[in-house]
Amino acid sequence: MLWLRGGRGRYLDNIFIERLWRSLKQEAVYLHELQDGFQAKRVIKDWISFYNTERPHTALDKRPPDDAFFDTERSQKAA
C-alpha cells in the first residue's frame, strides 16, 4: 500500500498545513468583510505575524513559534 510508506506524497504531510489554513480562515478571514485583495493581504499578513509572534501553541508548551525557534537557535549557538 503506497499510502503507508513514508516520504514524498504522504497523506499525513498535509495535516499541518490544513490546520494552519483552517485557523487562518476562522480567526482572520471570516471575521472581516474583505473588499479587495489589498485588504485581504493586510489581514492575512497581520494574522500570520500574530500567529508566529504572539499566539500560544500547545505543541510548543504554550509558546509562540518565534519564541520556541529562537530559544532553540540561541541554545545551539551557546553550546
C-alpha cell of 73?
A: 537557535
How many Å apart are CA 42 and CA 37, to the nearest integer? 9
Task: Please indicate, yes or no, whether the overall pTM of this predicted structure exceeds 0.85.
Answer: no
C-alpha cell of 45?
A: 499578513
Q: How far is CA 16 from CA 6, 11, 13, 21, 70, in A?
A: 16, 11, 7, 9, 21
pLDDT confidence tier of residue 1, bands split at 50, 70 and 90: very low
Render pLDDT for 27-77 as a digit per residue (tens, 0 to 9): 999 999 999 999 999 999 999 999 999 999 988 999 999 999 988 777 777
44 in Cβ contact with 29 (< 8 Å) = yes
Delimit the domains of the chain by residue range: 51-79
Beta-carbon neighbour count of residue 47 at 10 Å? 19
